[in-house]
Amino acid sequence: MTDMEQELLDLLDVERLEVDLFRGIGSGGETRTRIYGGQVIAQALAAAYRTVPDRLCHSLHAYFIRPGDPAIPVIYQVDRARDGGSFTTRRVVAIQHGRQILNLSASFHVAEDGWSHQHPMPDVAPPESLMSREEILRAEAERIPENLREEFLRRRPIDFREVDPRDLLEPKPTGDRNHLWFRMMAARGQSPQVQHILLAYASDMNLLGSSLRPHGLTWFGRKAMTASLDHAMWFHAPINFGDWHLYTMDAPWTGGGRGFNRGTIYSRDGRLVASVAQEGLMRPLRDKPGA
């Protein structure tokens, strides 16, 4: 296990302060300069899991309310909304500076048998044939302002490989469909709960980028203010995030300064293990009132 992988596992292992009160580290993981949205979702799910010992999450729904401050911890308050015969419900509020930054509701379900079907996994290039994120970023480093270069090149714990990467600074409009492979080797041997937490963390990666693709935009182009507004996720099958998973994303609609994004996550052997939906802000930078 690498140091950065252990750092991520530690980052997502929230500390219990009281019966239903937990504390998570603010900085680390995907970025040092802000709190990455997937981190807050994953920590909130981790806090909920600390109050549900015997069932796995099947769905979560979250709203991002305010940007997170990486300089201080995040406090997670869990409300035990319901403990039923088959389903358990939890509501988690993430708090910084005395104000809510995220609300999350999660539902947990006992294992049951039932009918089964799924859509097939798309046929795309395998991860071994694709450049890693680090290789792509190193190739682009000279085009990044020097004061941003160190953070830009810093290695991250999640290994992901885009099937059709675009030019980061001068992208051309293209289709909204977007595929990437991702994994974290240190997930091997972790509990089913930690697999869910890690996949929730990773599920915010590149998803909003699907809305940007048809408009010739990227995170680095400085033409749009972007932020995740909400995030929903459904877990369908057992997960081993230590192995490659395909994240297939699209954006069927953008408008009104927002973009709607969908994702499906498949294991390497073609099982549909999770689905994701998210609406994101994508406002032209010439217009910057508060969200």
Q: If you write DSSP's letter for every residue of 120-164 in order, what string do you get? A: PPP----GGGS--HHHHHHHHGGGS-HHHHHHHH---SSEEEESS
134 and 83 within one domain: no
Distance CA 64, CA 75 (A): 15
193 a catalytic residue: no
Question: In terms of domains, do 81 and 188 share one?
Answer: no
Of the three residues 54, 79, 111, the one that is the final residue of a domain is 111
- Digit-by-digit pLDDT tens for the chain (291 residues) are 898 999 999 999 999 999 999 999 988 777 777 899 999 999 999 999 999 999 999 999 999 999 999 999 999 999 999 999 999 999 999 999 999 999 999 999 999 999 999 999 999 999 999 999 888 888 888 887 777 777 777 788 999 999 999 888 889 999 999 999 999 999 999 999 999 999 999 999 999 999 999 999 987 767 889 999 999 999 999 999 999 999 999 999 999 999 999 999 999 999 999 999 999 999 998 754 555
- Would you call 57 helix, strand, or coil by DSSP? strand
Cα 161 to its chain centre, rounded Å, is 15
pLDDT attached to residue 222:
73
Which H helix or E strand runs over 173? none
**267 domain-assigned:** yes
| Spatial distance between the Cα atoms of 41 and 197, rounded to a whole number of angstroms | 8
HSE, CB side, 13 Å, CA atoms: give it for residue 84. Answer: 11
Bridge pairing between strands 15-18 and 159-162: unpaired
163: CATH: 3.10.129.10
So what's the pLDDT on residue 138? 84
d(CA 91, CA 132): 37
Which amino acid does the sequence have at 239? I
**Any catalytic annotation for residue 204?**
yes
- Give residue 154's pLDDT: 78
Catalytic entry in 39, 96, 203, 228: 228
Q: Are residues 234 and 104 in the same domain?
A: no
User: Which H or E run includes 78?
Assistant: strand 74-83
Cβ atoms within 10 Å, residue 1: 13
270 with 136, same domain? yes
CB of 71 within 8 A of CB of 65?
A: no
Please tell me whether residues 173 and 290 are part of one structural domain: yes
- The residue among 62, 29, 77 whose CA lies nearest residue 229 is 62
Residue 258 and residue 157 share a domain: yes
Structure tokens at 223: 């033409």
Beta-carbon count within 10 A of 238 CB? 12
Q: Which member of 176, 195, 203, 204 is catalytic?
A: 204
- The three-class DSSP label of residue 34 is coil
Please count the structural domains in the chain.
2
27 is catalytic: no
Structural domain of 237: 127-291
This prediction's pTM: 0.94
- 270 within a domain of the structure (yes/no): yes
- In whole angstroms, how far apart are CA 179 and each of 45, 80, 96, 253, 281? 25, 37, 34, 18, 21
Closest CA to 160 of 190, 137, 194, 191: 137
